[in-house]
Structure 1
Amino acid sequence: MQHQEFEAPPTLRDTIKCFWYTRKDFGELLSGFEVVPDGYAEIIFHFGSACSFVYNGTLQPLPSPFMTGLLNQPVTFYTKNKLEIIGIRCFPWTVFNLLGLPAGKDGVRVFEHPIVRLQPRLNTCMQAGHIEEALSHLIQYLLQARSQIAVDAMLFKAGAALQEANGTIPVSQVAAAAHTTVRTLERKFKFFAGHSVKDVSGLMRFEQVRNQLWHSPKINIAGLAHELGYTDQSHLSREFKRYTGTTPALFARRQNRTNK
């Protein structure tokens, strides 16, 4: 498996966290791979084998691109043979404004948008192994899209406060950082992101726990709960299980086995 991340240019960093590329050969049989929730929305372009997920009990093929919004539980995608992905990792309070789409809570979202016209050009680049050229086409398109929208200053300040605190900040303090009231902030967040500030901050904080357990499976969970502002270890465990379906201790043991 190959994975790379690429910084967004400065003029896109108020809307896009980064770009990333992944390539993996899954073999001839249909295989599933799990995506765990985090604090971002992703625009996903895929190349090679088809990518599918289960919807209403049926395996449904996904077009390229599609979007994963904020997830409240893991989602399993299915593919076989070689799959390549270019992802655009966006802040959830900016992605819908960037694309000119109505906000929603869809975990996996199929959408109609002029950005889909890039697929043939990107496909040509990927077949030739020119990943950076494909990224250049995407960046140029998004720079043009970004130039035609106004990023709400209140949301920008609120998002900056959430990022700085990794989600470990009360909504009242986010509102204060954005120089607004909690009521106004919540209304704008739901309009632009489809989720509340608490939804987003909870996922951002969970992401910190998940990352720590990925990289340091033997870390003290009680200490991690204190560090990240959970009431106690039980609070962390409840939130972790809510997003993953498993406990942090079991997740860490599985990761520890994987790392050996």
Structure 2
Amino acid sequence: MQHQEFEPPADLRDTIKCFWYNRRGHDEDESTFEVIPDGYAEIIFYFGRLCGVSYDGSWQQLPSPFMIGLLNQPANFYAESNLEIIGIRCFPWTVFNLLGLPSGKGGVRISEHPIAGLHAALEEFINAGKIEDALAQVKRYFLTVRSKIATDSIISKAGFAMRESNGTMPVSLVANAAHSTVRTLERKFRQSSGYSVKDVSGLMRFEQVRNKLWHYPESNLVSLAHELGYADQSHLSKEFKRYSGTTPAAFARKAKKSA
């Protein structure tokens, strides 16, 4: 499997975390792979055979592109070999404004949108092995879209503060950083993302624990809980199981086996 991530142009860094490309080769078998929640929304273009997704217990077919909003539990994707993906990883408080869609909760979202018009051109580049050209096309699209939308300074400042603190900053301090009251911030944040500041911060913080345990499975949970602002180890473990469906210890054991 090949995976690459690419920095967005400067004018997109307040809305998009990164662009990425992933390829499963001909020699890889059909498989189901799990996507664990994090603090981002993803717009996914795929080329090949991505058969479907299971979320909330049921399988559904997927068009290209589709969007993965904030997940509150893992989602399982079924794919065949020779699959290529171009992903756009967005901040959840910017993705709906970027796409001109009403915000809302939900994991995997499918809706008709002008962005689908990119698929044919991207497929030509992918089939010709011109990955950089495909990514350049996607970047141009989002630069054009971004130039036409207004930025809410409160949401922008709040998002920056949340990112800098990896989701550990209390809502009251996020509001201070955004020069807003908590009430105004929460109203605007729900309008932009469909979620509260606390909801998104919780996922961002979980993502930090997940990444730490995956790369350093011997990490001390008490220290992690303190570092990331959990009340104690029990609180960390409860939140981790809420989003991942498993305990931190079981996840760390899995990470060791995959090393």
Verify same fold: TM over 0.5.
yes
Q: Distance in 2 between matches of 1:171 and 1:56?
A: 29
Q: Distance in 2 between matches of 1:258 and 1:172?
A: 40
**TM superposition shift of 1:117:** 0.3
**TM superposition shift of 1:27:** 6.0
Query: Deviation string for 1:82-120 (max 9, x for gaps)?
Result: 111110000000000000000011100002111100000
Q: Which residue of 2 aligns with 1:234?
A: 234
**TM superposition shift of 1:59:** 3.1
Alignment of 1:119-138 (within 5 A): 119-138=119-138
Q: Which amino acid aligns with 2:172?
A: S
Percent same amino acid among aligned pairs?
A: 66
Q: Which residue of 1 aligns with 2:31?
A: 31
Q: Which amino acid aligns with 1:129?
A: G
The alignment partner of 1:52 has SS state of strand
Q: Distance in 2 between matches of 1:51 and 1:224?
A: 38
2:55–2:76 contact (8 Å) kept in structure 1? no
Alignment of 1:197 with 2:197, yes or no, is yes
1:27–1:80 contact (8 Å) kept in structure 2? no
CA RMSD of aligned residues (A): 1.4
Q: Which amino acid aligns with 2:69?
A: G
Q: Which residue of 2 aligns with 1:92?
A: 92
**TM superposition shift of 1:25:** 3.5
Alignment of 1:1-260 (within 5 A): 1-25=1-25, 30-54=30-54, 58-259=58-259
Q: Distance in 2 between matches of 1:174 and 1:26?
A: 47
Distance verdict in 2 for CA 1:38–1:55, change over 3 Å = closer
Runs of 5+ consecutive residues of structure 1 not aligned to the other structure: none
Q: Which amino acid aligns with 2:11?
A: T
**TM superposition shift of 1:170:** 0.4
**TM superposition shift of 1:144:** 0.6
The alignment partner of 2:144 has SS state of helix
Distance verdict in 2 for CA 1:128–1:256, change over 3 Å = same
1:168–1:229 contact (8 Å) kept in structure 2? yes
Query: Deviation string for 1:146-198 (max 9, x for gaps)?
Result: 01100111100000000010000100000000001101100011101000000
Q: Distance in 2 between matches of 1:92 and 1:57?
A: 24
The alignment partner of 1:62 has SS state of coil
Distance verdict in 2 for CA 1:60–1:30, change over 3 Å = farther
Q: Distance in 2 between matches of 1:85 and 1:14?
A: 23
The alignment partner of 2:61 has SS state of strand
**TM superposition shift of 1:138:** 0.5
Query: Deviation string for 1:3-23 (max 9, x for gaps)?
Result: 000000000011101001111
**TM superposition shift of 1:61:** 1.6
**Range moving further from structure 2, 50-59 or 162-171:** 50-59
The alignment partner of 1:159 has SS state of helix
